Structure 1
Amino acid sequence: MRRRFLKRVFDLLVAVPIFIVSLPVQAVVALLVRRRLGSPVLFRQERPGLDGHPFTMVKFRTMLDVNPEIGLVDDASRLTELGRVLRSTSLDELPTLWNVVRGDMSLVGPRPLLMQYLSLYSADQARRHLVRPGLTGLAQISGRNALSWEDKFRLDVEYVDRGSLLLDAKILMATALTVVRRDGISASGSATMPVFEGSASDGRGAA
């Protein structure tokens, strides 16, 4: 309980100033997204938070809407050039700081994935929801989307077991370097990350 309280204080002390200082940048990005992609400027999606309870995550929009008639059917075709820049620089994540301020997320923790993945996790992988999801985490500084799902989840659970304010500070510093180097933006052969279909070792999902 004390660790959770101190982590929340740490999140607010860091996230609130960054959110306020970044507002002019967010305004510029919002104008660019509105001009290049149209409305809505923000992407909102329900994601699982602490203990798997859903919350609405908000980011800058980076993709065009699905439109089979003009070939916009997958991430690769829908992701725009502006979207690639926003993702590679993590500028699309700036509005997500509001989720941290609200308490939906933490600065550091397992990334919030899709609600439909909840039933696909092994018992050990599901432990990633014992802490608030984060903007960044061990997986993000260890390869981001270049990692396999299995490796990501292993690192998420490792964070659950090892988490501390000192580790959070180290991860945040390493994240800044990862963003500058633009490492691991997408998985090999994918514009973003392949869909998780379950762990083969659990006999669920794809083999």
Structure 2
Amino acid sequence: MTTANPGGNAQNGGSIIADPVPDHPLLNGRTEIGRGESTIVLDGDVVDGQERVFKVLSSPTDYAYYTAPDRPTGRHFPVVFADHGTVGRSSRGFPFHIVEVEKLYPLPSAGDAAELATKISSSYFDACLVWRNLAQDMGRIALHHLVATPMGWTDAVRESLHALEGFSQEYGALPDLIKADNLMMRKDGTLVFSDPVFME
């Protein structure tokens, strides 16, 4: 993300999407709080004490991650409140989808969520180095390594990594657990896989 990024997305070190915010009644007049390679994030409303954001998604993989019936869900995945449909097309040729999700926050430099994120990211990175000769499959194999190798994960984290692995395989998505914006947290300190996949 190039700006403050609650609920944000910056994938795979690619360029930041330059498209303007699409014209839509749900989006007009809202503050833009972040951008990623294929996502624009706008501040949403607070409903029943829950802060929300609108994610304008131009990647089919991101859209599936947030809305597919078999998408990963649970403690370490974003809460999705609504799929508000499409609005125009991005410069990359894909439709923009508006999805309303919980607002997430960057990880602090210390604390339980930061320590867990560091362990996941560093373990994933180390596994990527081991499997780097396999090019694109490296990330999927590295993620499987995190699932299959005893690393002291809690049951919830292990189940989340397993669900993420299944999603990556089913949708042909490439995992990315290294970039800071891909692991974020709720205000209560829970680590969330905010945007851990990108399109091949």
TM-score calculated relative to the size of structure 1: 0.28
Tell me which protein shows more helix as a share of its residues: 1
- Higher relative contact order structure (alpha carbons within 8 Å, sequence separation ≥ 6): 2
